[in-house]
Structure 1
Amino acid sequence: MAINKAWTAASFGLDTMIWNQVVAQPATAPLANHPRVMPVGGGVPIVVGGRVVGGIGISGGAAQQDHDMAVAALEAAGLEVSK
């Protein structure tokens, strides 16, 4: 799950917490059927100089806990985090 959270965040440049809201909309709900899209909190894009260069995925807790840990890891590494 963590790998797919990181893939989702990196591929679309959006936190997976936001993806959860995206796939809740009827017009975009089919996107949740993509085999790698993981619309569960814990995936955060890695941004350097305003560009998405990767993603981090955390799994094992509740969605909000995973998200908070991913943000904390990026902040500890001195990387940009969109809020």
Structure 2
Amino acid sequence: MSFFKKHKKFKMQTSTVTAIFEDQIISEMMPIVIEKINIAIEPIIRETLKQIIDENITHETMKLSEKSFTELWENEEDKIWDEY
């Protein structure tokens, strides 16, 4: 076997071993990375959810207020017409 074929085979084996080690390291590190990410983004997610909830509550309250105003106006309008 020529030097280049041997070298290519050795290089392929080395890259396979490297890939196995990389996979093992990633597998071991992933839970730690996920935990750190969760710790970092949890406050952002909580704040975003609070804002969404507040916006929805405000929107629903405004719809109720608008509906109440409309009903009140219609009732008053009916009273006015009833008087005439």
What TM-score, normalized by structure 2, do the two folds share?
A: 0.21
The structure whose Rg is larger is 2
Structure with more helix by fraction? 2
Higher strand share: 1
TM-score (norm 1): 0.21
